[in-house]
Structure 1
């Protein structure tokens, strides 16, 4: 139970590559984020990343018409059939080759995928349980180059596919007599999209050189005729014909062939239009079409999109939403909202074109995230990235609500003050900035006398003293938050400062450096060195336990050491190098086992109760160690995405040649080429055509409530939380304690005994039933007689119940009486109870914000209603203000 953390959400990455999809109700957007998919609920303002992942980055997503199933296909052609209702994988399949697009038929019975120059039609999985969910129906040949797009007719009788050979092919989904296939030309570049008109075989085709062709068909959908099957009997009769009869038959067939040619489906180009060709506008990248309102949306490489009304080709809007290419476009079912995905910057935008306003505008960090910090109440997370941006995320909704762009270089560290309303960030541009979360502004900028690069940051528990360590001058700078003045410069280290941490209880600053020492500075004693702890290797990170009595140090040799800093005595150590399990990079000459000998933990974080410690580094694993026992408790694999480097322990022999790895060969084929990394370059050359990011964990942080932890990784900001599905966790359980005995005691109105028995059984529904059966007048008496051991458990239950309950006043009464009656006794165990109290505060604060917004809204509505009634002929003077008594009467 204690370490049952499971993947909860992915923040910081809103779109990577692939196609966007709206759910059938039009209220949610499904976006591929690496090897996972995220569902953005636009109506309820929430985002959720599904707890499933493919082995490589997802390139295309197919959504069933009813929105219950989705097909996720990755770069290698491996597919997952996913239930969006259960959020689980139903079936796995491999198409063996990269798939370019996938699309369900409107009736949901079939789906088509395109790979290479062919199209494959499969029977879609139905409600019946089947051994093989994907059954191949037909393979369609025709295009000479790779296929690019698919579209179906409304009645699922035909579909069209576009190709890079500048042609569009129309195929019959069934055996039609007058339509087997039809090829359409007319373009001078690759086809980007093709769309059927509503309830028609008329077709629109759009090519990459920004040309639109409108094709009219001489046959309606009802005019398609089934081809009669050829029976053996008719074949025998044909063999028995005489020569004379055969001659007549040949002449008859010639006549019927001419008649059949006239009955065949024919297409003609009705019109051809060209988009604006100024600049690089003609580099058209994506398109979407809404059949009911005849709205065509096209996106270009310059970040500009056009809205046209078809078939007249009337321009409605032409706007720019980004300076990068628009990789994917999707329209919701009503045609009001348009979703745009920009892969270059990782942007996702949902635009309401009629009111010309944003419904959603989110962007992740352009480069990798470097640092993160939780707010004191656990509601917000602040992240800093290599792109110089500081972003603040809401943990409940999963959205970024403010971005600060004042820094001009990479962010090295971020943190919250104790109030939770100020964010501090240190950067390599030589500044430490303080941001106000009330007014969303940069109200303080701390600088050093000489320009220097700040590598780490710490703020004391009072929020008054800000410290930052330097990379090049080996000094620690101390500022006052109130005045912004530089108070002192601490010298003594002989190498770059790698980490800073304030003691949560005392005014002691611990500084770690590459000179193999950790120095302790007393902030009250004129900032003199209190103690120097010598370590066997370069120190990378240092962290205090929440009670301030222990110090954890991670060094370059892979060891985590624990110190009693008061007596300068080492109390324990963990050899963590074997737990990292570093993978082998594609360009590595040595094996993964040899490479792991030089790896170490780069980030540490104590749990909320201080009994365990979280560690991560240049690996796909995050380890939780028990501090006292110094053993590994659990290891989390943060990613299984093989599109990242250093994921596999052994290289694939199929990618090896006599000259070395295939990754060393730069084919120069656009995005497909792989550039050879320069010596010492870890993050890749951003100007190169392609580079493979390396998996790593840059920062870890436990939530103050202890119920979740977050990690900044190459994938984004991953959040792991305790699994709420595991309910049964008995406490001092006896053989006589059963649900029936609890109900029996409850009927006898022995409330205290019933509560104690329910907590011993520890089933959430039973505890909730017992608590809510208690009369409100008896709460005070029960709280007084409740054993001290169970007070903490009741508070923990109340904190979790606040998230779902509607009985706010009743639970608030419980909380108030428990804290008033047992507050003095709880102070003795303040450190242990801190996560529970913070969890309780977070839950109450969220309800306070929701209720206060609702009350303000109702108050304004009542004032408005009174003002309207006054205007319509009330007897009281018009100038008289609305009083509180009148508002109460109106409510």
Structure 2
């Protein structure tokens, strides 16, 4: 079992805060999600989260014009320079203060950063060979309050900066004789956005009170005059003064608050306001929160705090469209390069929308769980993941595209447990509203609702291997309810526990149910023998979770004392235990008055899951770590840190002295009620915190972990979202029984001699994926049967595993299907003896084939429709009388039918 699992994706969260950005081609969208960024490929309908993270939540993203670089800035001003091509961090920089916005110039040579009331102009990295990637060029002074937005002219000569002091400042990126700075007023509220007109110095400014000012400049971009060079002697003296300073050079400073004399104002650039428009014509008060402008099409998009957005055509201010996407504040808007797609981000709901305004249709509409996710389950083939959250929603995600394709909202309270049936087409969910619901993934509907005779809050859920028996545990009546999936009737109520039911698990091989409770017992119930208790295991502490091994021969139990115990349930014997309390490594919360080490003594694992082969167990709890243990050796194999985001609580291991005052922790002082009430301390066991506090930080925790049935990945529901970790062995050299004679040249030489079986064995010994693919694809299809029959048993498993991974990317579907069919037919009896070990590989193969089957079947159905349409057109032409037909109609119909037939033929050939 390899443990080279790496972060591969973030599901369940699509947008948190910050600005959205389209890539250069306009086909992909970059969205900040907490301290990570996700890349949504809108053409291929896929999502990818980059394997890098900042220390705190990202507040602004600056994208270079060529789309190769991005600057990510977090809440405290720490920046990462990221390569979007290599998907790695190139440079780190600290701005020392919170940054409001970052914007690259259109030529890509410079970028502007605004923080406080200043604007800093830097040389863009990669354009000059310098030791430091962030070289300060100029510092611009002017606004009296914090800056809010930036926009550049098309030729990168000037840029405009909006401010909270209701003014907009135009600065020259270079030294211009007739434009050093210019201040524009005319607004009565905070400036939200400012935009230059295409190839012009004309400017639009938009304020928070939904007012738009149109400013016309009397000078064209070509009319900017360069500043005459300074005296050489003064420059030399200034350079000598700079060498004497020990501080870092701060660049040139441009002050915008010095009153120019009358002599200097002659022949200067001047602005005049030519129009002022208001968005709220009805008089209702609705704050404008975000805006975007597409210069080529003159399209202005504005978003409001009520969730409404408007599309206007400038400069005439003609309303094109108005629509409401939600009742929450629109935090960010972006338009792609062609002006067809508009992206909206709502931070309150965690919602991301991409809207095509011309056809008035959604290109992308994704929303995560409003509150934290509680549980997850993989489908039997590993293709889908279902999640349940405290918001009462059940969402189903596609693991290959990372998109949610269906959301069920029938529950009225938080969902506590979800699971798939054995077929993979039915999802079951238990909720605190007293119902267990079954959802059909064919018709996307709730077709069964299971209820108890008296209202109960269900905290756990399990379904047997046949999918016919549904069991749910109650946390208030201490009972287990059993229903029939086929009829929906309540079969029995199992009583015997004296505390809330915390977990249920069915034996995969037998119809035996294991139930864990806070009464320090684990009970086994025989479903076929009058629902009687088969065995009772006494545990030293409250039991939190129970799980069966995939072969059903072992039972793992996690208790409140931090121990994981393993039981042979057939003989009622404990076979081992793991002391996991020290491995949790709990962080220190802001309001804690004890150390992290002392706090970890009271923590335990709240979720367990066996790996697909049953050799390892995955455990998580109220910590930022997920642990993998070897069951046989009972030792810790690896720890995964699921997050490095310090915007979450319980991340610090030690107390930060910067947050300490003479009166105690700064968090305690800020969150106090004040007056006579004193400091508000949360009750023990309260995890959510009080949302009425001015500062609320959600606590990092892992609520559920599950291994994929294929064994190639595992998932965890956390405070940040649904995290996926998968095996990435493409860059790892892992030879198998390597000899001196096994080299790529010898393998190719053996292949040229048509010794195909020997070449395949040698390729697997070297274990180079590309070389294995080259050897297998060189085997003629007529020789596959002979090669498979002569292949040693040891390499049959490896070849099956390779075929399963090759199906993911290869276009030779029929060729690889022949290989898989021959291997399974010739070695099926021998593989049965290793069914448990080979189960992940077979499921991985099934998942790959099923995905291709769905894609090809859709394509074939479309081609059949095209062929039928072409035949109908030709028949309609044949039924016409010669007198009614015209030569033009005949040629047009012939061209239509021929084109459709050719396209359908091409699609069938490609499939």
Q: Pick the TM interval, shorter chain.
A: over 0.9
SS at match of 2:577: strand
User: Which one of the candidate residues 774, 792, 802 is aligned to 1:797?
Assistant: 802
After TM superposition, give the deviation of residue 651 of structure 1 in Å.
1.6
Residue in structure 1 matching 2:720, options 692, 697, 715 = 715
Contact 2:870 2:901 in 1 (8 A): no
Q: How does 1:166-181 map to 2 (within 5 A)?
A: 166-181=166-181
Structure 2 residue corresponding to 1:646, chosen from 650, 656, 662: 650
Matched with 1:126 is 126
1 CA distance for matches of 2:901 and 2:358?
38
Greater Cα shift, 59-68 or 282-291: 282-291
Aligned-pair distance for 1:855? 1.1
Structure 1 residues 399-414: aligned runs within 5 Å: 399-414=403-418
> C-alpha separation between the residues in 2 aligned to 1:234 and 1:597?
68
1:138 and 2:142 are equivalent in the alignment? no
Instruction: Flag the 1:888–1:655 CA change in 2: closer, same or farther, 3 A.
Output: closer
Map 1:418-817 to 2 at 5 A.
418-666=422-670, 676=680, 678-680=682-684, 681-817=686-822
Q: Tell me what 2:868 maps to.
A: 863
Closer, same or farther: CA 433–889 of 1 in aligned 2, 3 Å: closer
Distance in 1, Cα, partners of 2:798 & 2:337? 48
Whether contact under 8 Å (2:212, 2:277) holds in the other structure is yes
Query: Could you give the per-residue CA deviations for residues 681-728 of structure 1, whole angstroms, max 9, x where no partner exists?
Result: 311234544410000000000000000000000010000000132342
The equivalent of 1:847 in structure 2 is 852
- Between 1:785-794 and 1:589-598, the stretch displaced more is 785-794
Q: In structure 2, what is the Cα distance between the partners aligned to 1:696 and 1:421?
A: 30
Change (3 A) 1:535 1:280: farther
| Structure 1 residue aligned with 2:325 | 321
Cα separation, partners in 2 of 1:807 and 1:727, compared to 1, 3 Å: farther
Find the aligned partners of 1:827 and 1:346 in 2 and give their Cα distance: 47
How has the CA–CA distance of structure 1 residues 277 and 567 changed in structure 2, closer, same or farther, with 3 Å as cutoff? farther
Query: What SS is found at the alignment partner of 2:808?
Result: coil
- Give distance in 2, aligned partners of 1:763 and 1:889: 38
8 A contact 1:376–1:418 mirrored in 2? yes
Residue range with higher mean Cα deviation, 176-185 or 724-733 = 724-733
| 1:164-243 equivalences in 2 (<5 Å) | 164-231=164-231
Aligned match of 1:284: 288
The Cα of 1:873 is off from its aligned counterpart by 3.5
Pairs within 5 Å for 1:335-350: 335-350=339-354
Match of 1:872 among 871, 877, 889: 877
**CA gap 1:309/1:138 in 2 versus in 1, 3 angstroms:** same
Show the counterpart of 1:150. 150
SS in 2 for 1:839: helix
Name which of structure 1's ranges 214-223 and 861-870 shifts more when overlaid on structure 2.
Answer: 861-870
Residue 2 of structure 2: aligned partner: 2
Render the CA deviation track for 1:830-880: whole Å, top value 9, x for unaligned.
1110000000000111111111111111111112222222333379999xx
How many angstroms apart in 1 are the aligned matches of 2:679 and 2:125?
42
**Alpha-carbon deviations, 1:784-813, whole Å to 9, x = none?**
121222211111111111111121111111
**Matches of residues 328-407 of structure 1 in structure 2 within 5 Å?**
328-407=332-411
Give the conservation status (yes or no) of the 8 Å contact 1:666–1:676.
no
Q: Structure 1 residues 735 and 588 mapped into 2: Cα distance closer, same or farther (>3 Å)?
A: same
* Matches of 1:629 and 1:261, distance apart in 2: 83
The structural deviation recorded for 1:733 is 2.1
Provide the C-alpha distance between the structure 2 equivalents of 1:794 and 1:814, rounded to a whole number of angstroms.
9
1:282 Cα deviation after fit? 2.7
For residues 435 and 687 of structure 1, the distance between their equivalents in structure 2, rounded to whole angstroms, comes to 36
Structure 2 CA distance for aligned equivalents of residues 402 and 146 of structure 1 = 42
Deviations 1:652-681 (A, max 9, x none): 101101211111233899xxxx99563143
> 1:745 deviation in Å?
2.4
Q: Residue 467 of structure 2 aligns to a residue in which SS? A: coil
Residue in 2 aligned with 1:42?
Answer: 42
Aligned to 2:94: 94
**Higher mean displacement: 775-784 or 103-112:** 775-784
Q: Which runs of 5+ in 2 are unaligned?
A: 236-259, 885-899, 906-911
**Matched residues in 2 for 1:658 and 1:275: separation?**
50
Q: Deviations over 1:350-384 (max 9, x none)?
A: 11111111111000000000000000000000000
The answer to whether the Cα contact below 8 Å between 1:675 and 1:691 also exists between their aligned partners in 2 is no
Q: After the TM superposition, which residues 47-62 of structure 1 pair with which residues of structure 2 at under 5 Å, given as runs?
A: 47-62=47-62
SS of equivalent residue, structure 1 residue 438: coil
CA contact (8 A) 2:866 2:904 kept: no
Change (3 A) 1:279 1:409: farther
Are the aligned partners of 1:727 and 1:763 in contact in 2 as well (CA < 8 Å)?
no
Contact kept? 1:684, 1:691, Cα under 8 Å: yes
Could you say what secondary structure the match of 1:509 adopts? strand
Deviation at 1:479, TM superposition (A): 0.2
CA distance in structure 2 between the partners assigned to 1:686 and 1:15 by the alignment: 20
Unaligned runs of 5+ in 1: 236-255, 879-885
- Residue equivalent to 2:897: none
Residues 63 and 480 (structure 1 numbering): CA distance in 2 closer, same or farther, change over 3 Å?
same
Partner of 1:18: 18
| Cα displacement (A) at 1:743 | 2.4
Task: Determine if contact 2:160/2:171 at 8 Å carries over to the other structure.
Answer: yes
Alpha-carbon distance between aligned partners in 2 of 1:823 and 1:234, rounded to the nearest angstrom = 88
Q: Return closer, same or farther for 1:258/1:515 CA change in 2, 3 Å cut-off.
A: closer
Give the structure 2 partner of residue 250 of structure 1.
none
1:890 deviates by: 8.9
Q: Distance in 1 between matches of 2:904 and 2:262?
A: 82
Deviates more, 1:685-694 or 1:869-878: 869-878
Count of aligned positions:
860
Are residues 1:67 and 2:71 paired? no
1:881 matched residue in structure 2: none
Q: How far did 1:129 drift?
A: 4.7
Q: Structure 2: how far apart are the matches of 1:482 and 1:588?
A: 51
Q: Is the 8 A contact 1:166 1:191 kept in 2?
A: yes
Q: Distance in 2 between matches of 1:811 and 1:362?
A: 35
Q: CA offset at residue 277 of structure 1?
A: 5.5
- State the 1:131 CA deviation: 1.5
What CA distance in whole angstroms lies between the structure 2 residues aligned with 1:677 and 1:321?
39
Kept in 2: contact 1:424–1:435 (CA 8 A)? yes
Query: Aligned-pair RMSD on alpha carbons?
Result: 2.1
Q: Secondary structure at the match of 1:802?
A: helix
